[in-house]
Structure 1
Amino acid sequence: MEYLLALIVGITLGLLGGGGSILVVPILVYIVKVDPKIAITMSLAIVGLTGLMGTLRHHKNGNVMVKLAFQFGAMTMLSTYLGTYLASFISGQLQLYIFAGVMLLASASMLKNGKKIKIKPSSNLTIFGAASVVGIVTGLIGVGGGFLIVPALLNFFYIPMKKAIGTSLLIIAINSYIGFMGNIINSPNLELDYQFIAIFTILAIIGSVFGAALAHKLPQEKLKRIFGYFLIAMGIFMIIRETLL
């Protein structure tokens, strides 16, 4: 069952150019029955590797601004590690509550109908602040943060959407690696199933190839809205479940 869901995660990534990775933690926690802290660490490995493969595909089309990705990634590194450090002091349940809140924010990003978020940065400090938020979210709850990174690249660096998506995947890969290593350092007793991580990642990558092939045949905005409503339902489910059980 979990491997079928890995394919679905990949297909969603391929269809929408992002978003599917936010399903990894709920799948690991509620379907595979993995401890939340272990699930978040495993998610960072899975999201990072799938993001790296996505980067390679986008790079072939000239849609990855490598220098910008490493500049933005450098700004997020410290905050990503800080996120993993903070995570070592809070319960797995609280992390899931935060995750549910981020999932609801991601749904808003999916439902905004492609409208550009209007942000007027006044200084480099504003950009650094946005990068820091992305890093903390990645380190704390194990999501790539593409729904935060893409608007930041669009509005702070004024690059085309295709380049923003491609560049965001490299940033996600960088942040996920830092987050994964941060969790290993700050929580050395975590028992990770590396074989499961490898199989799940490979299937997600295969699914993303199928999803990308289908993407041009299906209405993107309608798909994003459907997925946005699904994220709302999932976020509410997580809050209720963690409150009642």
Structure 2
Amino acid sequence: MFALLAAVVAGAFIGLSLGALGGGGSILAVPVLLALGQSATQATTGSLVVVGVTSLAGAVTAHRAGNVLLARGVTFGAVAIGGAVLGAHASAAVPEPVLLAAFSALMLVVAGLMTARQLRSRRGRSAGAHADRPRLDEPIITFSPTFMCQCPRALKVLVTATTVGLLTGFLGVGGGFLVVPALVLALALPMGYAAGTSLVVITITSTAALATRAGTGIAPDWWLVAALTVTAVAGSIAGARVAARTDTARISTAFTGLVLLVAAYTAATAVPALT
């Protein structure tokens, strides 16, 4: 009973972070499940459910708001499926301490990226930066009326999408902090569209990774996962409302500090087991 209550509270916080900050909250799903007694493989598998369902709900909301380029998101996600499948297979083949150490390293990277984003955002506000305006670039590959391929960009999409898929499949996280810049760099999407479109990509890669793990016999406590997922979805809706009324810079700073603390705890648990 206590575990379910803890999952509800943690899920609400994860969703609140996702809704208010537009990403990052799902990375807490794995350490939350670990703290509730799940093994590393169970936690990363359960996290895929939390990440996938919450991203789907967010993608629907973003699409209604006109902030999703569906065709591009589906295309990028389809390319990323190969990496997600490989990552899911690899996660089952490595020792759990290695998986935890990799996850703690990832959280440190996330904290660094979030800190850098906060600094850029502050500089942008002080410089009076303008909001992104919708602008779409040329297609990378066309077949009509003649075949045309911007092959360097196509290669960039292949590499970045595969990397995103590997991350999702291996560590059970959505990787929104990586998907958004990947869409900006590889597909030249404006930031406003990249944030919404990334949710489509995360939904696809999480589903592919979860389907790959389905036949491995790895089964988390589905009641905990369900409680975490439902409250994360509800929290994301509340978080979006909070973001409209609150200075998200303060929320982001607090969240970055939390990620650092969780990363340190995870590393302290994993590193001794590696020696």
TM-score of the aligned structures, taking structure 2 as reference length: 0.82
* Residues 39-86 of structure 1, C-alpha deviations (whole Å, 9 max, x = no match): 110100111000000001001011111100111011110110000111
2:103 maps to which residue?
Answer: 99
SS class of match (1:216): helix
> Match for 1:125: what amino acid?
L
- Corresponding position: 1:150 with 2:162: no
Residues 49-60 of structure 1 aligned to structure 2 (within 5 Å): 49-60=53-64
| Alpha-carbon displacement from aligned partner over 1:10-54 (angstroms, at most 9, x marks no partner) | 111111011110000000002x11011011101001110000000
Partner of 1:47: 51
Q: 1:63 & 1:206 partners in 2: Cα distance? A: 20
Q: Distance in 1 between matches of 2:63 and 2:90?
A: 34
The alpha carbon displacement at 1:122 in A equals: 4.5
Q: Percent identity?
A: 31
Give the Å deviation of 1:176: 0.4
How far apart, in 2, do the equivalents of 1:26 and 1:138 lie?
A: 15
- 1:78 and 2:82 correspond: yes
The 5 A counterparts of 1:1-245 are 1-30=6-35, 32-114=36-118, 115=120, 122-185=152-215, 187=216, 189-244=217-272
Q: Distance in 2 between matches of 1:15 and 1:196?
A: 24
The alignment of Structure 1 onto Structure 2 pairs a total of residues equal to 238
Tell me, what secondary structure is at the counterpart of 2:93?
Answer: coil
Amino acid at match of 1:39: A
* Aligned residues of 1:110 and 1:227 also touching (Cα < 8 A): no
Deviation at 1:163, TM superposition (A): 1.1
Give the C-alpha shift of residue 220 in structure 1: 1.9
Name the SS for the 1:113 alignment partner: helix
Secondary structure at 2:245's aligned position in 1?
coil
Residues 97 and 205 of structure 1: CA distance in aligned 2, closer, same or farther (over 3 Å):
same
- Please state whether the residue corresponding to 1:143 is helix, strand or coil: coil
Deviation at 1:158, TM superposition (A): 2.1
Higher mean C-alpha deviation, range 85-94 or range 122-131: 122-131
CA offset at residue 161 of structure 1? 1.7
In structure 1, the gaps of 5 or more residues are none
TM-score normalised per structure 1: 0.92
Give the counterpart letter for 1:14 in structure 2.
G
Q: Which has the larger radius of gyration?
A: 2
Deviation at 1:219, TM superposition (A): 1.5
Moved over 6 A (4+): none
What is the letter of the counterpart of residue 72 of structure 2?
Answer: L
What is the one-letter code of the residue matched to 1:156?
A
Say which is worse superposed, 141-150 or 202-211, in terms of deviation: 202-211
